[in-house]
Every structure is written in C-alpha cells, then in structure tokens.
Amino acid sequence: MNSAVIGGGLAGSEAAWQLAERGVSVKLFEMRPVRMPPAHSTGNLGELVCSNSLGADRPTSPAGILKQELRRLGSLIMRCADMSRVPAGRALAVDRDLFSSLVTREISRHPNIELIRSETDVIPDLPAIVAAGPLMAGGIADAVREIVGEGCLSFFDAAAPITTLESIDTDRAYMASRYGEGSDYINCPMDRELYEAFWWELVNAERVPLRDIDREGRASDEKTDTCPEVPGRFFEGCLPIEVMAERGIDTLRFGPMRPVGLPHPSTGREPYAVVQLRRDNAEGTLYNIVGFQTNLKWPEQERVFRMIPALEKAEFVRKGVMHRNSFVCAPRVLDCHLRPVKNQKTVRLDLHLAGQITGVEGYVESSATGLVAAIQLFHTLKGDEPPRWPDETAIGSLLNYLQSAEAGTFQPMNVNIGIFPKIETPPGHGRRKKIGKPERSMLYAERSREALEKFLERETAVLTRR
C-alpha cells in the first residue's frame, strides 16, 4: 500500500508516522529547507513557530485529556514532546530545537517513510493527506482551493519575542509558578503606575499594517492571496498583546499579566500585574514572554517591552512576528473523516486534510487531526469504512465541532470543555447539589478514557477479522 503526505509539520509528521507504523509506504513531501517560509528558521520536521508550550497537561483538563488520548494512540508528536520537556508548571513546554530534531530523526529513519525535500504544486495521484500547514502557498494552495471552492478563509496569527537569560535582570524578578506549584517561571512584577504607563505605550506603539502581510507572513504591496482576506480578523486564542490591550486598560491584568496565584516572596502579596517568562530550551538559556505575541514593528518591540522590569537590557534573539493562517470552513467543506466535500459529495475517498487548515487551533489539536486522517485513510486502504470517533473523547469532540459549528461564523477552535458533550449528573447527586469543578473534570476524563478504550477494542476487532 502506497500513500503521500504533503507537509512535514506536526500534523503531517504524525500522519506519516501513523501510516508507516501500520505498514503503509509513505512519501512525505516537505519543502524546507529548499524553500523557507518566513515564519520558519530550520529545516527540521515539526518545527514549532509560535510558542514552545503545548498547553495544559493535567490529565483532567481538556488539553490534558487530549494529550492522554494521543499518548494512548501511540502519537509520535507526544512521545517527542515528553522526551524534550522543559519545566513549565502545569503546562507541557518543550525545548523546541530538541523536539523538532527528535521528530526529524524518527521520521527519517522509519523504513516505510521516504522523506522528499521538495515543494509539490499538485496533490499526488495517490491516497493522500494534505497537511501543508496554515501558511500553504503556491500550487498546493491553489489545488486545495479548487477542491473546496470558496471555503478557504484566513486569520492572522502571531508569535512572541524570545530573549536570553543572561540579559534578564533576575534581581528585579522572582521565580515562581502559579499557586505555588513549583518555580518554573521568571516573574516580572509591576506596580499600578508602571503598568498604566506600559499599557499606554503598548496601545500607541507603531504596528505592521495587516494589509502589508501576505499569506506567507511577508511585507508585500502585491495582492497574492490565494484565499479571500477577512481584514483585521484575529483568532481569539492568539490575539496580539496590543490588540488585547485596546479592549480596556485592565484587560491584560485579567489575561496574560494576571498576578493571581503569584505572590511576591518578599511581601507575600500579589503585585498589581506581572509579566511571565517561560523557558524556551532545555539548557535554560532562552526565555519567551508568555502571552506576548505581537504585531508591533521591531524597534517598537524593543522600546516598549524593555519597560518591563528585568528586561531593560534584554537581548531579543527573536522578535515577535505576525503571519496569515489559512483554514477551510470545515462545516461546509469537510466530512466527518476530514475528507473534502464539494456540492455535498465527498471529492475523493482517499484524500484527507489535516492540521490547522481543517479549522482546529493549537499544536496538539493539529497533531490529533494528523493522527485521525492517517487512521481513516488506513481503513480506506484496507477496504473498510473509516470509523466514527466517539464524541465523548477530546478527539471526537474536536471532529464534531468541525461538523456542527455555524458555518457563517466559523473560527478555529482549541480543545475546551465547551465542545465536549454535556456530562450527566452522576448517581448519588441530587438535582440541587452542584458538582464541583474538580469532580466534574474527573468525570469528563474518566468518560473520555472509557470511550477511547471501547473504540480501540472495536478497532482491534475489525483489524483482526481481516
């Protein structure tokens, strides 16, 4: 059995791995480093562009439930993430260089994967998974648009600056994780006067005009969009810090600069606001500013962010950058197996989309769609009907969102408790007794685990019958 996967990001690498592990020969096309998009800096597979955090990892949180499901399903991305983990409190953060090196090593040495370092402008005439990423361009973007029609949308995404540890004045900061759970973050406290001055400079700083950012994140005067632009549209989960600040002077204090659970060790009191820095590599020599994705012009980033205590002399080894992300309107153009549909008919039974272009948001969510697409395609190659994922799982909930969301207002979605089927009140609870959040989270996690195990039992039974 032969197949093709286009794109060596998180979703594409996961898809290629899952197919190869099932005995399918895979041609994995990745254009880097032959052609480098502006948002990337290496030719490694699975390179993390925006943040080095894969989100919450508590087993009972929605993101943690998803991670547990992927681990149970033999995810390559989760295995490499666990192997390259760096301290980040309740979150799973990684040394991004080590992580992508591990993904590249595992893919490169798999006997069933042929890694082709070349850009492809067409979808190969093979059973295929298109995981070209949200920055897809050129012929492959045209091919996707031709398949889905006008179902291609876009939004703007941003990355946060990274600074060196040696340039941080640690005497003006303190180490702590929220609610006393370790000491993994550098915390830069602000009093009210400094915070308000910082806020004023932030909202009035010069920005890169969105009209000058083309689909690959470059400044451009030429109209080169493959997908129709929605001016000024941002994904709510990744708003630039300056856009968030415009919503009100206290917005940041209840968002990325919230001081709750971070009392200063010298006073025992929470500061008025706090900026957190998270380790970005295993050696602890690089730190990124948590939640500070930005579209400010580069000189403005240095001017404004050096107002933060401990960052007056910071050396920014990577500035914040903005780029366009493209995605399809999944409720209109994808079936429940991530296959493109046109005029309410599946285009090809052996063609799937994966990654952020499907309408999910987040590293782990993108990886999950790669895994799903691979398993669905494997069933098609075996002559079986692809399975329906249980809604009670995090994976199933994401797939259900892509099918059931309102098409007219569709926007990419992270895994969250709101997309899970509502849990029933367990036996022993009266109608008036409210279930506490910890207990409810545990119930969601247990239900997910049980549903996934039943799904795997059915999968095993189907495959062993053949």
Q: How far apart are CA 208 and CA 230, in angstroms?
A: 17
Percent of the chain scored above 90 by pLDDT?
Answer: 55
Q: Which one is predicted more confidently, 136 or 256? A: 256
Q: How far apart are CA 363 and CA 379, in angstroms?
A: 25
Joined tokens for residue 212: 């000058």
Mean pLDDT score, 271-297: 91
Q: Is 70 exceeded by the pLDDT of residue 430?
A: no
171-197 pLDDT per residue, tens: 999 999 998 888 899 999 999 999 999
pLDDT value, residue 192: 96
Give the pLDDT band (50/70/90) at residue 127: very high
Q: Is 134 exposed, middle or buried (0-12, 13-18, 19+ CB in 10 A)?
A: buried
- Per DSSP bridges, beta strands 53-56 and 91-94 are antiparallel
Q: How far apart are CA 362 and CA 366, in angstroms?
A: 6
> φ and ψ at 278, to 5 degrees?
-115, 140
| CB distance 134 to 306 below 8 Å | no
Average pLDDT, the chain: 86
pLDDT value, residue 218: 38
Mean pLDDT score, 163-175: 93
Write out the residue limits of the CATH 3.50.50.60 domain(s) in the chain: 2-151+329-465
pLDDT value, residue 429: 52
pLDDT value, residue 271: 96
Q: Which one is predicted more confidently, 231 or 202? A: 202
Q: Which residue has the tokens 């994976």?
A: 395
**Highest mean pLDDT: which of 19-33, 41-55, 207-221?**
19-33
Q: Is 80 exceeded by the pLDDT of residue 163?
A: yes
Joined tokens for residue 417: 């408790």
- Name which CATH class applies to 2-151+329-465: alpha beta
Q: 278 forms bridges with which residues in the sheet?
A: 185, 288
Mean pLDDT score, 47-56: 85
Mean pLDDT score, 389-406: 92
| CB distance 191 to 364 below 8 Å | no
Q: Which helix (H) or strand (E) holds 224?
A: none
Q: How far apart are CA 328 and CA 359, in angstroms?
A: 6
Q: Is 60 exceeded by the pLDDT of residue 128?
A: yes
Give the pLDDT band (50/70/90) at residue 462: low
Q: Is 80 exceeded by the pLDDT of residue 137?
A: no
Cis ω on the peptide bond leading into residue 33 (within 30° of 0)?
Answer: yes
Q: Which one is predicted more confidently, 134 or 214? A: 134
Sequential DSSP letters for 147-216: HHTT-EEEEEEE---EEEGGGS-GGG-EEE-GGGS---EEEEEE-HHHHHHHHHHHHHS-B--GGGB-TT
**Highest mean pLDDT: which of 39-53, 112-126, 363-377?**
363-377
pLDDT value, residue 133: 78
Q: Note every long-range contact of 207-211, with CB atoms under 8 Å and residues 24 or more positions apart, other chains counting.
A: 207/242, 207/295, 207/296, 207/297, 207/300, 208/295, 208/296, 208/297, 208/322, 210/156, 210/295, 210/322
- Per DSSP bridges, beta strands 53-56 and 174-176 are unpaired
pLDDT value, residue 153: 66
User: Which has the closest alpha carbon to 351: 18, 125, 142, 151?
Assistant: 125
Q: Is 80 exceeded by the pLDDT of residue 244?
A: yes
Q: Which one is predicted more confidently, 425 or 102? A: 102
Residue type, 210: L
Give the pLDDT band (50/70/90) at residue 326: confident
Give the pLDDT band (50/70/90) at residue 220: very low
pLDDT value, residue 235: 61
Ranges 228-237, 324-333, 444-453: which has the least confidence: 228-237
Domain 162-323 has CATH 2.60.40: no
pLDDT value, residue 232: 45
Write out the residue limits of the CATH 2.40.30 domain(s) in the chain: 162-323
Mean pLDDT score, 110-128: 91
User: Which has the closest alpha carbon to 62: 433, 396, 450?
Assistant: 396
Q: Is 80 exceeded by the pLDDT of residue 366?
A: yes
| CB distance 389 to 399 below 8 Å | yes
Ranges 325-329, 353-357, 366-370, 387-391: which has the least confidence: 325-329
Query: How many angstroms separate the Cα of 299 from the Cα of each of 37, 40, 282, 315, 317?
Result: 22, 21, 29, 12, 13
Mean pLDDT score, 30-48: 75
Q: Is 50 exceeded by the pLDDT of residue 231?
A: no
Give the pLDDT band (50/70/90) at residue 425: low
pLDDT value, residue 463: 62
Ordered strands of the 53-56 beta sheet: 53-56, 91-94, 85-86
pLDDT value, residue 339: 94
